[in-house]
Structure 1
Amino acid sequence: MDIRYGANPQDAMHYTTEDLRDEFLIQELFQTGKLNMVYSHVDRVITGAVCPVEPVTMEAGKEIRAAYFLERREMGVINIGPAGTVTVDGVDYHLETTDGLYIGKGAKDIVFSSVDPAQPAKFYLNSCPAHMTYPTVKIERANIEPARLGSQEQGNKRSIYKYILPTGVKSCQLVMGMTVLEPGSLWNTMPTHTHERRMEVYLYFNMPADGAVFHLMGQPDETRHIVVRNEEAVISPSWSIHSGVGTAAYTFIWGMAGENQAFDDMDHVPMTELR
């Protein structure tokens, strides 16, 4: 498990391109036959992915010093690849492309498998500490009524699918969802904001091989950017804006953890103050 420590915004403003990428960018998550995880000290979020050929069992690892992975944690899973199955304590949950699963604290045996090993599923996961147990729930994207935001004129027409949220699938502190940009739209979360009460992780995907997203981060008056490729993620600390623009339309999964779960609890940044 890769370990990332929290970054002070006063330090981050002096980072080089490589420093920013080393601290915040997560690459090579989706590797066939492997479970890869990154442990961030920012709200103790773990970001991971598994592309199983043979069934892959989740283990706690020495980094969290637990008897099993979800002894003191909860987890959200979204499959961005072909069909697969997540087995939780003997119960199978079949996930088609972009279906999700919330797994509550206390689930002991978690196994990931693909329906067709020649075309492995791509399970993306976010996990954070939990102090309460909520039921494990399968989330079918087809059953989510998206919020439609933005406009073609502003280049940010998009649909927001809320997977794990207090108004739907309940969790202890994890919030998770997916945003799909319409063809011709390139911007996400602009005008931008921060939310000091929680961090966020972005996974960008459905991008062409030669495409890129310029992920904007930093304090509103000290912005920086990271060039992100397909199926790469960015850790966004609570003090940072989190916006981006791509070379073509794309999709991203957002996962949040921290002080609260209110989706609209954000501190908007006027465009006139952004630097």
Structure 2
Amino acid sequence: MEIRHASNPQEVKGYDTTRLRQDFLMESLFTENELMLYYSHVDRFITGGAYPTTAVIKLEADRKDMGSDFFLERREIGIINIGAQGKVTVDGTTYVLEPKDGLYIGLGAQDVVFESVDAANPAKFYINSTPAHKNYPTVQISISEATPAHLGSAATSNERVINKYIHPQGVQSCQLVMGLTMLKPNNMWNTMPCHTHNRRSEVYFYFDMPEDGVVFHFMGEPQETRHLVVRNEQALISPSWSIHSGVGSSNYTFIWGMAGENQIFDDMDHVAMQDIM
């Protein structure tokens, strides 16, 4: 498990590109038959990926970094399958996840195993996990059951559908909020005009991008913006003081996960376009 420490906005102003990438970008989330995890001290958020092909992958705790006997001893987890059909078995119950299906697993589940239905067309399970204080039931969420919100327009190049999977009006959790946003063809911007939300942090995961595609992800304080070049199946940590917006070389899909003080999706501190620098 790779550790990422919390950041101070005053210090981040002086970071060069290498330091920004080291602290905020998670470049490698999927390695065949391995569990890849990043532990952020920002809201104790864990981001990762399970990519089973010829073997099953067990969700295991890193005793040194997590201080727990099993991964979900004091945590909850949200999973979205970005690959082909796959299976997640939770304490003996198996859930079959189609592409873009999700699964919430609550506090206390001890045995979680990932596998692909067809090794030649493997599943890829993207993972967000946060600390939890109460058990909520395990729930499977198909993308057709997610709560949709249609935002933006072609005129501003940000027409998109936000699919909410784990949220107060949908699948219940202690603090994790999670969903998937799909940009319409010929649209490249997400979340612009931008915002911050000082009451919670966020992790962005970009995918469904062509091999030569990139997203320019903007971060930093509204008057001290920075950018990172993000490629397919890479993720970023967005602390509460930072904007989080991006523009791609073509349309793309991204998964957002949030943790912190509240779960209210619309609790945002909006930044006027004339105030961003």
TM-score between the two structures when normalised by the length of structure 2: 0.98
- The aligned runs of 1:94-133 (5 Å cut-off) are 94-133=96-135
Tell me the distance in 2 between the aligned counterparts of 1:37 and 1:94: 23
Tell me the distance in 1 between the aligned counterparts of 2:32 and 2:84: 13
Aligned to 2:23: 23
- The aligned runs of 1:191-202 (5 Å cut-off) are 191-202=193-204
How far apart are residue 145 of structure 1 and its match?
4.2
Q: Once structures 1 and 2 are overlaid, which stretch shifts more, 137-146 or 206-215?
A: 137-146
Q: Is residue 139 of structure 1 aligned with residue 124 of structure 2?
A: no
Tell me the distance in 1 between the aligned counterparts of 2:138 and 2:272: 39
Tell me the distance in 1 between the aligned counterparts of 2:31 and 2:204: 18
Query: Is the partner of 2:66 in helix, strand or coil?
Result: coil
Spell out, residue by residue over 1:178-237, the C-alpha distance to the aligned partner (whole angstroms, 9 max, x if none): 000000100000000000000000000000000100000000000000000000001000
Aligned to 1:221: 223
How far apart are residue 249 of structure 1 and its match?
0.1
Tell me the distance in 2 between the aligned counterparts of 1:215 and 1:96: 28
Tell me the distance in 1 between the aligned counterparts of 2:158 and 2:77: 29
How far apart are residue 31 of structure 1 and its match?
1.3
Whether the 8 Å contact between 1:32 and 1:120 is mirrored in structure 2 is: no
Tell me the distance in 2 between the aligned counterparts of 1:34 and 1:119: 16
Tell me the distance in 2 between the aligned counterparts of 1:11 and 1:247: 30
Gaps of 5+ in 2: none
Q: Considering only aligned residues, what root-mean-square deviation do their CA atoms show, in Å?
A: 0.6
Query: Is the partner of 2:154 in helix, strand or coil?
Result: coil
Query: Is the partner of 1:272 in helix, strand or coil?
Result: helix
Aligned to 1:231: 233
Tell me the distance in 2 between the aligned counterparts of 1:145 and 1:132: 24
How many residue pairs match? The answer is: 275
How far apart are residue 143 of structure 1 and its match?
2.0
Q: Which residue identity is paired with 1:74? A: E
Q: Which runs of 4+ in 1 moved over 4 A?
A: none
Query: Is the partner of 1:146 in helix, strand or coil?
Result: strand
Aligned to 1:67: 69
Gaps of 5+ in 1: none
Aligned to 2:11: 11
